Structure 1
Amino acid sequence: MSEIRTPKSGKAKRAVASRAPKPIENGKKTLILHGTKTSATLSSVLMELYRLKKGGAIKYSRRNENIRPFESGGETSLEFFSLKTDCSMFVYGSHTKKRPDNLVLGRMYDHHVYDLIEVGIENFKSLLSFSYDKKIAPHEGSKPFICFTGEGFENVQELKHLKEVLIDLFRGEVVDNLNLAGVDRAYVCSAVSPTKVFLTHCAIKLKKSGTIVPRIELVEVGPSMDLVIRRHRLPDEGLMKEAMRTSKDKPKKKVKNVTQDPVHGKSGRIYIPDQEIGEKPMPDKSKGLKRERREAKLKHKEEGSASKKKKASE
């Protein structure tokens, strides 16, 4: 029976808590792996994918002989690496005579393989083959635009699957608000045919348009390549239903100075500043005193009128 190890230090406890399920998950990290044999083109593709996702990717340069994603039993090493690095996506490159320049993109759920799609790399152009003004080069960690052109992304099952995987691969962490000045790159995916997609990486150049909204120009900065779909495997219905399940309980906001007790119920503490009652003059506006003054005034008038009558009679 395997021993269950519990974290003892504060650092280990925080690391375990960061991997626990959350209502809003962290950004997906990508694991980049080499197969038994890789070509020069494929090595360049893996390296440039790592550069594009720098800060959100982990790359291993050693060869892995036991990884065969589409075969039963060939997923064990992938799941081990996913658990070790806490990565929810992977890119695996291999090169054989039957499938040259082969790239397998996949997603993980609970550190188990969720779905797979295999593409071949054609017409690859590296970052170094593009000449442009380095001032407009995209910054590391910036949020991208992702554009999909072509009816195939809505009608063809393989292209719809590839679209989902590419969005998860490039979008980074999900945010609520976005600064337009921080969006400086775009990925453009064009469906050339039902099994072929042209992918290119562009820098965004903002220019004056005479209105509040600037005019956008795209400058190709690379890399660019053709992705030819070879094989794909969709997730099982049961696994998909489990992965799509969301928490109904919304995160409650912490209310300060309020406690819940089983005996007294809900109780709260309030802060009242010092009133300084002894130093402030208290105005006398009681109704009883007003009535006494009114009666004394009437009595005084009556006494005055009586004295006048007495003097007149004398």
Structure 2
Amino acid sequence: MKIKTPMKGRVKRELDKRAPKLVETGKKTLILQGTKTSGTLNSVLSEIYHLKKGGAVRYTRKNDNIRPFESGDSDYVLLCCQYGSHSKKRPNNLVIGRMYDHHVYDLIEVGVENFKSIESFSYDKKIAPRVGSKPFIAFIGEGFENVDELKHLKEVLLYFLRGEVVENINLAGLDRVYVCTTISSNKVYLTHCALQLKKSGTVVPRMELVEGGPSMDLVVRRHRLPNEGLRKEAMKTAKDQPKKKVKNVSSDAIQGTIGKIYIPDQKVGELALPNKAKGVKRERREAKNKEANEHASKKQKEESE
């Protein structure tokens, strides 16, 4: 098959963005509904979409054939999703899954309890978090280190809530905090707070949290860890590239970095002086007088001969 290469630079840059990367900058989140959903779960999915606006896609139609734990990867190809469903056995059921290389990487199923929407909180809207801002994420409780289900939930929530990975961030842009607190061995209280910076008399401001919603209790029901082979493949990192040798630079244990600088020969005699000093004029006058005396003595010697 003939491989077509892009002719325009704009097309080439767009294809480079979609190409696989060793370090991923961020993924889109797909939010789906199951065969049956409750009003509470619809509100949860709507507010999750609002919090991840710009980094999520929401489908509002019901999906009958998608059952994450029962079906294979065929229903999830090209999707990295949050899936909501409601049944008598599992009310207000929320399934969070991650994808790798068009395969389901892992799944965790939680039940939503004691949900409070953003509208149920009253606070100054001037300090409301801005859409697209980077959040703080705080995990409180020993369960996130000791219980396997909560450790898995922490990893998934951190991956889901952190957004795009950046190297530098402006402190003024940090205006929200996700607080996850363990209530029991299988229940986590998740709340979203606005971050308010106040004067403290020092360079570091004093931070206050104002609960702005949504908030909910997440009860862990089922979870599926990634396959060992898929995990190893997903955890591969790029080999350290050898540093390119810099010419005329060496390192010493005592003196540190040592470099050689090559300067071309300078023709000092041809340099134009900006200011002619009196000493220069005197030297030229003396040289002129000396040349005249030598010429006179030479002429006198020739005449005597």
**What interval of TM-score do these two structures reach, taking the shorter chain for normalisation?**
0.7 to 0.9
Q: Which residue of 2 aligns with 1:161?
A: 152
SS at match of 1:165: helix
- CA distance 1:22–1:37, change in 2 (3 Å): same
Distance 1:4 1:196 in 2: 55
The aligned amino acid for 1:76 is S
Q: Which residue of 1 aligns with 2:167?
A: 176
- CA distance 1:110–1:4, change in 2 (3 Å): farther
The aligned amino acid for 2:112 is I
Distance 1:229 1:108 in 2: 20
Residue 280 of structure 1 and its aligned partner are, at CA, apart by: 5.2
- CA distance 1:212–1:5, change in 2 (3 Å): same
Distance 1:189 1:43 in 2: 22
Residue 278 of structure 1 and its aligned partner are, at CA, apart by: 9.4
Q: What pairs up with 1:198-209 in 2 under 5 angstroms?
A: 198-209=189-200
Distance 2:163 2:135 in 1: 8
Contact 1:67 1:76 in 2 (8 A): no
Q: Which residue of 2 aligns with 1:129?
A: 120
Q: Which residue of 2 aligns with 1:36?
A: 35
Distance 2:173 2:167 in 1: 14
Distance 1:190 1:32 in 2: 24
Q: Which residue of 2 aligns with 1:236?
A: 227
SS at match of 1:113: strand
The aligned amino acid for 1:234 is L
Q: Which residue of 1 aligns with 2:252?
A: none
Distance 1:119 1:20 in 2: 33
Q: Which residue of 1 aligns with 2:16?
A: 17
Distance 1:58 1:252 in 2: 41
TM-score scaled by structure 2? Answer: 0.77
Q: How many residues are paired up? A: 258
Residue 234 of structure 1 and its aligned partner are, at CA, apart by: 0.4
The aligned amino acid for 1:209 is S
Distance 1:60 1:9 in 2: 35
SS at match of 1:118: strand
- Alignment equivalent of 1:196, drawn from 142, 162, 187: 187
Residue 175 of structure 1 and its aligned partner are, at CA, apart by: 1.3
Distance 1:100 1:157 in 2: 23
Q: Which residue of 2 aligns with 1:78?
A: 76
Q: Over residues 9-52 of structure 1, what are the superposed CA-to-partner deviations in whole Å (9 max), with x where a residue is unaligned?
A: 64554443212222332212211111111100000000000000
Distance 2:100 2:2 in 1: 22
The aligned amino acid for 2:48 is L
Q: Structure 1 residue 148 and structure 2 residue 139: aligned?
A: yes
Q: Over residues 265-312 of structure 1, what are the superposed CA-to-partner deviations in whole Å (9 max), with x where a residue is unaligned?
A: xxxxxxx9xx9x99958xxxxxxxxxxx9xx99xx8xx9xxxxxxxxx
Give the gaps of 5 or more residues in structure 1: 83-88, 256-271, 282-292, 304-314
- CA distance 1:133–1:18, change in 2 (3 Å): same
The aligned amino acid for 1:52 is L
Distance 2:179 2:86 in 1: 26
Distance 2:34 2:64 in 1: 6
Distance 1:252 1:50 in 2: 43
SS at match of 1:62: strand
Identity %: 66
RMSD over aligned CA atoms reads 3.1
Residue 103 of structure 1 and its aligned partner are, at CA, apart by: 0.4
